[in-house]
Amino acid sequence: MQSPEGKWDQSITQQAKDKFFKQQVDWELDALEQADVICFFFDTETKSPVSLLELGLWSASDKVVVCCGEEYWKAGNVQLTCKRYGITCVEKFEQLVPLVEEMLIEKGMKLDKGNLIGENIHVPKEKPKKKTQLEAEKAQLKAKNAQLEAEKADLQKEVCELLAKLAIQPEM
């Protein structure tokens, strides 16, 4: 947790059992889930292992932009991950700012000289679903669709039979 001065509290251990550390990590993960755009800047003077972890976590989300210079110690990993997931990756910070602005506009936000304008209403988003969960939901929808198609065919058959009994020719 940060102190009022904006400094990290050095007494907090980076262990899952530390209540304050857990609170901080949960806050960060919640914020990433709710973000419309996630911007990663891999500073060549740092290792940033947590940022690497988060990039991997959010790569498939369609809400990531990245800045990573060739000198970054894991630049190759970052670049290949970006390429695989269709993430725009630039090398210079100056290129990153317009990229973030462009993505915000694509997401429906209005900007004036880089600042959000108009109503900035937070709309809570569902937690991201795992691929396996999405695939299971898709399979259920396909099965339901097949069931409805079969019911539709049965109903059409019944209608034709009823019309035949009434000696009326169906117009289907």
DSSP per-residue letters across 51-66: HHHHHHHHGGGS-EEE
Helix (H/G/I), strand (E/B), else coil: 3: coil
Q: How far apart, in whole angstroms, are the C-alpha atoms of residue 160 and residue 12? A: 75
The alpha carbon of residue 93 and the mean position of all alpha carbons in its chain are separated, in whole angstroms, by 23
Render pLDDT for 23-52 as a digit per residue (tens, 0 to 9).
999 999 999 999 999 999 999 999 999 999
pLDDT at 116: 82
Taken in order of first residue, the domains within the chain and their CATH numbers are 35-117 (3.40.50.450), 129-172 (no CATH)
Tokens at 139, concatenated: 């399979």
pLDDT at 107: 85
CB 99 within 8 A of CB 8: no
Confidence of residue 131 (pLDDT cuts 50, 70, 90): confident
Helix (H/G/I), strand (E/B), else coil: 161: helix
pLDDT at 113: 85
